[in-house]
Chain A
Amino acid sequence: MNDDELPKVPTFRRGYRFQFEPAQGCHVLLYPEGMIKLNESAALILEQVDGQQSVGQLTDALAERFPEAPGLRQDVMEFLEVARGRHWIELR
């Protein structure tokens, strides 16, 4: 994902639902007849996908929250690229 896409707004693809599952102690992404267990960093990023914030805004929000994390911006962009490639999210 390149800088041109910073103003775009990520949203979950219709039918994909992000939620916390107490029994599993983690966030999951639910989709037709399937479920992906998310690790903590994936969950932190997807939690920001609210249909309002742009890629730039959510990256800023995470960088502010975790100022010590090295290479955070790049990690977030790479993760969003993977999520888009797997058709979990769309960029508008």
Chain B
Amino acid sequence: MDGTGSSFAKPGYEPGPPLWLLAELTYRCPLQCPYCSNPLDFAKHHDELSTAEWIEVFRQARALGAAQLGFSGGEPLVRQDLAELIGAARGLGYYTNLITSGIGLTEARIASFAEAGLDHIQISFQAADEEVNNLLAGSRKAFAQKLAMARAVKAQGYPMVLNFVTHRHNIDDIDRIIALCVELEADFVELATCQFYGWAELNRAGLLPTRAQLERAERITQQWRERLAARNHPCKLIFVTPDYYEERPKACMNGWGNLFLDITPDGTALPCHSARQLPVAFPNVREHSIEHIWRHSLGFNHFRGDDWMPEPCRSCDEKERDFGGCRCQAFMLTGDASNADPVCSKSAHHGVILAARQEAETAAQPLDQLQYRNERASRLIAKA
């Protein structure tokens, strides 16, 4: 550990290596998706690490065993030093992933990233329907640009992941979504039902699909899987269900501070994208080494092990499987991040989840009432 901080490491607890490093290079983004995972008050955080600071983060995390590196944001393409960052990361031995909306991408940039050693590009879409896509993205040109860039990514030989965040206003279109992905020659397709953090939590009533919508989408996805397998087609469909329809919580991040390390634009280190909202002090790479952050910081040790768990988790025989679920969800829905994730039917707060399901059936919000993610809205939220 470095000289500045005390060690909060838990005796007898040795975390695994931070295999997944997510570099949220910036909160700047040309789109306004109402389910963005960035913090609601992102407008408060304009500071960004320099090129040299990012490369030092990559070097230190790699030495601890990080193997996958995601360049994310905001929109990572707004960073003019992106090719340099990719080159440095690839030189250190990372598998480099660019996670982008495709806005700001050009054929020339795709080629320059390939030259720098970029391994893979993930492009996110908002819908398979141009009008719905552009409405959700808050940009009239978004869909055409995404299509053109997805084709260019494949033409230049990259493996490509297409990511569709699905919700009540686009999930019924799942057949068309998958057909589009197959047509675009995606290697992997993530059909990720909205997870309710950040802006998505704010807009939950307008996003959570009904159980019937979800079941239909899963059925159609399974039919596609069978059709693709019968043709020995390499495209893999990954369906992420929203935990709001589960009775047991997800093993969030595979355990707190266990394999995932997120560095936010200003260098704050987090154990997941949305942990910034928790009443926990998180360390910054400008003040501490990655090793100190990962092994010894209070923030990363806070919810390691199980000595922090109250009932019903403490005596639960499933606690080693799901770690009591998601700390952020427990905090957002119960006010206490140590509580059992209310998705769990054993939680005293499970009623919140049942009420949200009910709301999806009877009192959902239309598309035009969603709060879009932009600087103005974020400033208002930060002020309040």
What separation, in Å, do the CA atoms of A32 and B160 have in the docked complex?
8
Residues of chain B contacted by A23 (CB below 8 angstroms):
17, 64-65
What separation, in Å, do the CA atoms of A28 and B97 have in the docked complex?
17
Contact A35 B120 (CB under 8 A): no
What separation, in Å, do the CA atoms of A87 and B188 have in the docked complex?
12
Residues of chain B contacted by A14 (CB below 8 angstroms):
157-159
Name A30's contact: one of B65, B68, B158, B188 (CB within 8 Å).
B68
B102, chain A: closest CB distance, angstroms: 16
Q: How many residues does chain A have at the interface if contact means C-beta atoms less than 8 Å apart?
A: 17
Nearest residue, chain A, Cβ from B97: A33
State whether the Cβ of B187 lies closer than 8 Å to any Cβ in chain A.
yes
Contact A21 B67 (CB under 8 A): yes
State whether the Cβ of B41 lies closer than 8 Å to any Cβ in chain A.
no
State whether the Cβ of B234 lies closer than 8 Å to any Cβ in chain A.
yes
State whether the Cβ of B133 lies closer than 8 Å to any Cβ in chain A.
no
Contact A17 B64 (CB under 8 A): no
Residues of chain B contacted by A28 (CB below 8 angstroms):
67
Task: Given A21-B67, A32-B120, A33-B97, verify A15-B17 contact (CB < 8 Å).
Answer: no
State whether the Cβ of A19 lies closer than 8 Å to any Cβ in chain B.
yes
State whether the Cβ of A2 lies closer than 8 Å to any Cβ in chain B.
no
Residues of chain A contacted by B351 (CB below 8 angstroms):
none
Name B95's contact: one of A13, A17, A22, A87 (CB within 8 Å).
A17
The residue among A21, A22, A33 with the most chain B CB atoms within 10 A of its own CB is A33
Residues of chain B contacted by A33 (CB below 8 angstroms):
68, 70, 97, 120, 122, 161, 188
Contact B17 A17 (CB under 8 A): no
What separation, in Å, do the CA atoms of A83 and B93 have in the docked complex?
23
Contact B17 A32 (CB under 8 A): no
Kindly supply a per-residue 1/0 record for chain B positions 130-152, scoring 1 wherever the CB is within 8 Å of any chain A CB and 0 otherwise.
Answer: 00000000000000000000000
Contact B95 A30 (CB under 8 A): yes
State whether the Cβ of B253 lies closer than 8 Å to any Cβ in chain A.
no
Name A32's contact: one of B65, B97, B234 (CB within 8 Å).
B97
Contact A32 B187 (CB under 8 A): yes
B37, chain A: closest CB distance, angstroms: 15
A10, chain B: closest CB distance, angstroms: 15
What separation, in Å, do the CA atoms of A87 and B231 have in the docked complex?
13
A33, chain B: closest CB distance, angstroms: 6
State whether the Cβ of B119 lies closer than 8 Å to any Cβ in chain A.
yes
Contact B67 A32 (CB under 8 A): no
What separation, in Å, do the CA atoms of A22 and B17 have in the docked complex?
11
Contact A13 B65 (CB under 8 A): no
State whether the Cβ of B19 lies closer than 8 Å to any Cβ in chain A.
yes
Residues of chain B contacted by A30 (CB below 8 angstroms):
67-68, 95, 119
B330, chain A: closest CB distance, angstroms: 26
What separation, in Å, do the CA atoms of A34 and B122 have in the docked complex?
13
A92, chain B: closest CB distance, angstroms: 15
What separation, in Å, do the CA atoms of A34 and B68 have in the docked complex?
7
Nearest residue, chain B, Cβ from A23: B65
Contact A21 B65 (CB under 8 A): yes
Kindly supply a per-residue 1/0 record for chain B positions 31-68, scoring 1 wherever the CB is within 8 Å of any chain A CB and 0 otherwise.
Answer: 00000000000000000000000000000000011011
Residues of B whose CB lies within 8 Å of any CB of A are 17, 19, 64-65, 67-68, 70, 93, 95, 97, 119-120, 122, 157-161, 187-188, 234, 236
Contact sample, A vs B, 16 pairs, CB 8 Å cutoff: A13-B159, A14-B158, A14-B159, A15-B119, A19-B93, A23-B17, A23-B65, A30-B95, A31-B159, A32-B119, A32-B160, A32-B187, A33-B68, A33-B122, A33-B188, A34-B68
Contacts A15-B158, A23-B65 known; list 19 others, CB within 8 Å: A14-B157, A14-B159, A15-B120, A15-B159, A17-B95, A17-B119, A19-B93, A21-B67, A22-B65, A24-B17, A28-B67, A30-B95, A30-B119, A32-B97, A32-B160, A32-B161, A33-B122, A33-B161, A35-B67
Residues of A whose CB lies within 8 Å of any CB of B are 13-15, 17, 19, 21-24, 28, 30-35, 87
